[in-house]
Amino acid sequence: GVAEMLKISLVCDSELFEKIIQSTPLEIGNSQKIIQHCIKLKQSVVKQDPFDKNYRHILNFGHTIGHALESIAMKKGQELLHGQAVASGIYYTLDLCNNLPKETTNKIKQYIAQYYTIQQIDNVQELFNYMNSDKKTINNEYNFVLLEEIGKASIGNKISREQIEVIIKN
């Protein structure tokens, strides 16, 4: 759940993000105040778009790659927690967020790398096979949620296979 709380802070609330990165996942997971705030943020997003047609898509940040990583692990019979997969998905997706200052990207990636195991992608084709079956992929165009800044995300960003291959190989 803590990776999802990190995600909601990244897409909705820069002040919450600052609190989160100054805490360990254990501290965050034990903070009723942070948990309740994250629930309210998510409820607000869902209320604004109850049928998941537009704005609510911001909740998919990190999930395009994250869900593919979960599927790969499942196929191999390996256990991979959803939060671990989402954290890895966020880690990779940050390199697509061209509007974020590099120091901000690095700050987030350092936090994720400190507390999560970044899932290595050994078979790029297998990753794309799972991403191709994602509901957000249309005509081999990968639809990503990207950060414009901490607390503000944009939806509907068409990302090419080539762009994804670059971030995975770095």
Instruction: Convert the pLDDT of each residue in 41-88 to its tens digit.
Output: 999 999 999 999 999 999 999 999 999 999 999 999 999 999 999 999
Q: In this predicted structure, what is the pLDDT of residue 22?
A: 96
CA 89, chain centre distance (Å): 5
The span from the first CA to the last CA of the chain, in angstroms, equals 27
Instruction: For residue range 13-43, list pLDDT tens digits in order.
Output: 999 999 999 999 999 999 999 999 999 999 9
Distance CA 90, CA 113 (A): 11
Q: Which of 8, 82, 10 is nearest to 44 (CA)?
A: 8
Whole-model pTM: value is: 0.94
Instruction: For residue range 108-118, list pLDDT tens digits in order.
Output: 999 999 999 99
3-state secondary structure of 139: coil
Model confidence at 136, in pLDDT bands (50, 70, 90)?
confident
Q: One-letter amino acid identity for 64?
A: T
Distance CA 112, CA 13 (A): 18
123-138 burial code (b ≥16 CB/10 A, e <16): eeeebbebbeebebee
Instruction: For residue range 119-133, list pLDDT tens digits in order.
Output: 999 889 999 999 988
Distance CA 142, CA 34 (A): 32
Give the up-direction half-sphere exposure of residue 125: CA atoms within 13 A in the CB hemisphere: 0
